[in-house]
Amino acid sequence: MEKNKITMISIIGIICVILVAVMFAQFKTVEETDITGIETAREEELQMMLSSWKTKYEEVEEKLIDTQQKITDYREKLTSNEQTSELLDKELEQINILVGKTNVTGQGVIITLKNNEEKTIEASDLRTLINELKLAGAEAISINDKRILNMTEIVDVNGIILINEDRIVSPYIVKAIGDQTYLSSALSLKTSGFIDSYQKLGKTVEMTKENKISILAYNSKKNQLQLKYAKEVQE
């Protein structure tokens, strides 16, 4: 009887322990659980979250594709712009060489004209020489390192030769870049060629062929190559 009672009491005690332990554990779980925490979320909540994230993911992916498309478009535009600018750069370079704003080098001839005791070199001689050189296809010409442009004047003012408004004196070294053979043969034609005819007149003219001639850029301080009156015609 006594033993029976003790077992009953102990069983009731054990059951109380189990029940209360589980209850408190549950209380603790419910209290501590952060509903938004992903580790503790219920399956249904997880499914909901998953589906919503999927939708978001799809939207974002669409945006991504859009943006990438835009980026490719921009890139294409950029490359085409780069091509254009490269072309423009090349053109600019060409034009700069053409107008004489850059130092240039290449094969050509050097003609030296000197005053001697009897004859002096005049501006007209230089003009004739320049014209001959241009006719023979000279691409860049300079006299005493004064670059000859299309606007360059070669004039006599009171016996002084002015080029690009700068005074130059003998000896006059004329450098011309172009086809060596053309230039030299054009100048050294028998009797009617520049060198022959001028030497006959008693002027000192010498010509040398050079494989590498350097011609300086237009560097006059007085005339800055700015057009005031000539305007481009807009069609």
Partner 1 sequence: MILIAIIIGCIIGALIGINIPTIPYTYSGYLAIAIIAALDSVFGAITSSLKKNFDMKIFISGFFVNAILAILLTYLGKKLNIDIYLAAVVVFVGRMFNNLGTIRRYYVEKITEKKGKKPEEKSQEKVNNN
Q: Crossing angle for the helix pair 180-187 and 123-135, nearest 10 degrees? A: 130
By the rule CB under 8 A, 32 interacts with partner 1: yes
By the rule CB under 8 A, 26 interacts with partner 1: yes
Paired tokens of 216: 């300086």
Judged by CB under 8 A, the stretch of 32-40, 59-67, 112-120, 210-218 that binds partner 1 is 32-40
| The one among 1, 3, 29, 213 contacting partner 1 by CB under 8 A | 29
Judged by CB under 8 A, the stretch of 35-43, 85-93, 148-156, 177-185 that binds partner 1 is 35-43
What whole-number distance in Å separates Cα of residue 131 and Cα of residue 57?
A: 76
What whole-number distance in Å separates Cα of residue 218 and Cα of residue 225?
A: 9
DSSP notation for 26-79: HHHHHHH--TT-TTT--HHHHHHHHHHHHHHHHHHHHHHHHHHHHHHHHHHHHH
Place of tokens 């952060």: 34
By the rule CB under 8 A, 3 interacts with partner 1: no
By the rule CB under 8 A, 28 interacts with partner 1: yes
By the rule CB under 8 A, 202 interacts with partner 1: no
Judged by CB under 8 A, the stretch of 28-36, 93-101, 138-146, 169-177 that binds partner 1 is 28-36
Q: How far is the CB of 38 from partner 1 (least distance, A)?
A: 10
| The one among 1, 43, 118, 229 contacting partner 1 by CB under 8 A | 43
- Give backbone dihedrals phi and psi of 42, rounded to 5 degrees, phi first: -70, 160
The candidate with the shortest Cα–Cα distance to 141, out of 165, 158, 115, 164, is: 164
| The one among 39, 118, 232, 235 contacting partner 1 by CB under 8 A | 39
Question: Interface residues with partner 1 (CB under 8 A)?
Answer: 5, 8-30, 32-33, 39-43
